[in-house]
A and B are shown apart, each in its own frame.
Chain A
Amino acid sequence: MSSEIAFPSPQHRRHGSSAGQPLTRRDGVLKVTGRATYAADNHPEGMLYAVTAVSSIARGRVTALDVEAAKAHPGVVEVLTPANRPPLSHDPDDKIPPFGFRVEVLQDDTVRYVNQPIALVIAETLEAATEGAALLNPQYEVESARTGLENGERFDTPAVGVGAPSRTAYGDIDAGLAAAVRVTEADYVTPPQYHNAMEPHAVVAQWDGDRVTLDMPNQALALSCAAYAAYFGIPAGNVLIRSPFLGGGFGSKAILNGPQILAILAARMLDRPVKLALTRAQMYGPVGHRGQTWQKLRLGTDGEGRLTALHHHVLAATSSFDEFMEPAANASLPLYASPAILAEHDGLRLDTGTPGPMRAPGEASGSAVLEVAMDEAAIACGMDPLEFRLANYAETEPGTGKPFSSKSLRECYAEGAKRFGWSGRPLEPRRMRDENGFLVGWGMGTAVFHCPHFPAEARATLRADGTALVETAGADMGQGAWTALAQIAAEALGLDPDQVELHSGISSLPDGGIAGGSGHTASAGLALHNAGVDAIARLAELATADPASPLFGAGNIGVEARSGRLHRRDDEGRSESYSEILARAGQAEVVGTAKAARDPAVAEAHALFSHGAVFAEVKVDPDLGQVRVTRLVGAFAAGRIINPRLVRSQYFGGMIWGISFALQEEAVTDRRTGRIMNADLAEYHVPVNADVPSLDAILIPEDDPYVNPLGVKGVGEIGITGTVGAIANAVWHATGVRVRHFPIRLEDLLVNQRDVTSAFGN
């Protein structure tokens, strides 16, 4: 019957529909009152506290632990070490697809990185557990740490990121370079960075026989349930994960890690609830990071400033025991037209925790470098950086020739440049000063991000009182999913968002897919949309088959759901409310369900990307080299926008992460020991508000009829791409100094200042 019900495609229903209108955040009241419960806020009866003892060396073996001293401390209940750790049903050195990582769960006495768990102390109080861990006084057999290019182990890798190809070649790169009038070539370095979500990773685990309830922040509920089930030898249905609020995730809460598994194991062993919350310092190791990269770019250009070759080589760091690497070179594949493109990666094994996906994995570090290289090539060609990018605009996906499902990058360039005032920019560096004598520079970069779609399921229940309950196990880590997903469901159900209750964030609900890859709104949203459509179809069946309904017999004509009523399509006057239909049918509710996934033919036929352009102004103190970003304008086109206020927040967040990448973030490793010297929030710099200028994010309208039936792309990560390069390029424009590593520090500008002053004559 559902095929007989006509629903205009959502792209054409924006006027008068809830989507696209800003609303109050659904989670707002709970958050401003402190009543939102994060994992570590749970405190079940009889709960114990677990604290991990972590290695202080990067490589070697633990030869002794003073377990007796720890156990003798008042309040300590148990100490888990490799000697007594109960068995797990899954080998932690065997990865669980698709996103499995190898984890350290006391499987042996080997130390593979600093801050690896080497024991777990469980006690009646947090103080006792902490003190117990301190009393373990580990002794080590230390091997020298491999910390960088000079001593890391290089290897060939078939895949980077999550299953992305490590080498992609379009055309003949050597021929392209040979045909070039100019070749711009340079080496760049990006640092290790740590997610540092404000909420440290935590879990409260409670067992009941062979069932376990886990309060934990989690970006991938269904996949995690399956993985925990494998580790503990129980059916996936016996794992219940409750993750109503996440204090940020950025990728680090999508993947299982050793400390959380150990806490769950301890709870089973001791038959009491156990809470574990990592300290800030302990987050620098077992819960992922953005791995360091060393990148080489070779850009061949012809006499008109068109690319003849684009060669992006990345050496990407990973751990000694696993494979995740920043797929940074792949950032050069979808963006600029070139007859020859070669993107390739090699691996470098270091004694660190395994890197993982961190907001725009690969795209962030690859785009940062690509955009600087494009700036250098533009300068070499004597062209304005924006003009240069337009000269290399890709009308179809480079290499594959596929059409883009939609691409509004020209509009992004134009609107962004206009708002910023780009047209007045002098080509030469060191030509602008402000009233205080600070050097002023303008730079730009292109933003791009792919549009993944994860399979998801949802349920929509229309209730007798005319309201609805919609359910999917999604995750809101701050992006506003609860709000945007409810808007999508409300539109499908023909209801006001206030009439729609959304349940999410718990794994017993239909699988909501993964909150990652900027794909959550599209993935969980489409499932909710389809479930809503299904519920309306079922309701319409009731009405059109009922002789007492004004909609009787409208099955072939179709009905439309609007404002809590079904309307006959050919006669607005004939309608009936959901409550009336259900009441007469004697039903308390009608339930719609749906599964949603990407149609493979869509991805086969189209290149699916969001685009944007970012323009930055920096001011640099000519004497001290201090850099301030003073203006940042981003223009982004990401398909249909469900909630502009939430989306703007996502763009701003991404752009500020760009500032952070360009000027602030870096985990600094002690080359002698492999220890991270700034494993805290005091010396690992992230922006506070005083670092952030006035931001402008322009939402470029874009209709995408292909990417998915909702027309929604993704917005969570694109803001960081483009921004990093734009800032670095602005620093060059202000100072004439080209810095080819991140973050750019004042000493980079001071050291080179004298040469530059003479070179540019001011």
Chain B
Amino acid sequence: MKHSVVSLTINGAERQMLVAPGSTLIDVLRESQGLTGTRRGCEQGACGTCTVLVDGKTAMSCMLPVETIEGAHVETIEGLTPPQGLHPIQEAFLQGFATQCGFCTSGMIMVAAALLAKNPNPSREDVVRAISGNICRCTGYEAIIDAILDAAVRIRSAAHAEAA
């Protein structure tokens, strides 16, 4: 089988890459693009650790052959992080002690980003459902749920301030 050329927009930058057949998105992100903020946890879509956004929707990057997403827009934790300071979700995780070992954090934050983009005012149940595919073995769930709810408030009030 031959390598193929795939074009992706990763964190806003267009990238063309030569990929081996079956290469997954996480392989490309971590090994050839140097975007190691996306973590490899189980390689079977069971833990959510490798979650990124593909065209705005959450995707397990360990399960996604890159050939199948030609032309897609991919956003990782590095893309979510603003050039200065932190994204409101990151700020909420930081202030809320919602990280322990930190390995699941990127995936949790990307899931939160997708949730809040779609539903700026989620209920606690909405948050629980959204991150139900993400395992935190340090089991910091309550803090993570609280942080995502706090992030929703932060984003809404920032939008409100902007509108005013």
Contact = CB atoms under 8 A, between A and B. Distances in A.
Contact size range, B: 35 or more
Interface string B83-104: 0001000110111010111111
Given A645-B97, A649-B97, A649-B143, A682 B46 contact: yes
Contacts of A480: 100
A739 interface: no
A34 B135 contact: no
B137 A686 contact: yes
A25 B46 contact: no
Given A43-B34, A196-B137, A694 B142 contact: yes
Contacts of B76: 34
Contacts of B93: 28, 31-32
B36 A688 contact: no
Contacts of B22: 127
Interface in B125-162: 128-129, 131-145
Contact of A33 (B37, B46, B135, B139): B37
Contacts of A680: 42, 44, 46
10 contacts: A28-B94, A30-B102, A38-B103, A40-B40, A200-B41, A277-B40, A478-B100, A649-B140, A689-B145, A690-B128
Interface stretch (A112-120, A245-253, A344-352, A667-675): A245-253
B103 A199 contact: yes
Interface in A636-679: 645-646, 649, 652-653, 656-657, 660
A13 to B, nearest CB: 24
B101 A247 contact: yes
Report whether over half of chain B's contact residues are helix, strand or loop; otherwise say mixed: loop
Interface of A: 22, 24-25, 27-38, 40-41, 43, 125-127, 196-200, 245-248, 250, 277, 279-280, 477-480, 645-646, 649, 652-653, 656-657, 660, 680-682, 686-690, 692, 694-695
A477 B102 CA distance: 9
Contact of B20 (A40, A125, A688): A125
Interface of B: 20, 22-23, 27, 30-31, 34, 36-47, 49, 76-78, 81, 86, 90-91, 93-95, 97, 99-106, 109, 128-129, 131-145
A642 to B, nearest CB: 14
A196 B104 CA distance: 13
A694 B140 CA distance: 12
Contact of B139 (A277, A653, A690): A653
Given A29-B86, A653-B100, A38 B39 contact: yes
Report whether over half of chain A's contact residues are helix, strand or loop; otherwise say mixed: loop
Contact of A653 (B104, B134, B140): B140
A198 B135 CA distance: 8
Given A32-B93, A37-B36, A247-B103, A688 B132 contact: yes
B142 A33 contact: no
Contacts of A22: 97
Most buried by A among B86, B103, B104, B140: B103
A31 B78 CA distance: 11
Most buried by B among A33, A125, A688: A33
B94 A41 contact: no
Contacts of B132: 688-690
A37 B107 CA distance: 15
Contacts of B49: 198
A649 B101 CA distance: 11
B138 A478 contact: yes
B30 to A, nearest CB: 8
Given A33-B77, A126-B31, A657 B139 contact: yes
A35 B37 contact: yes
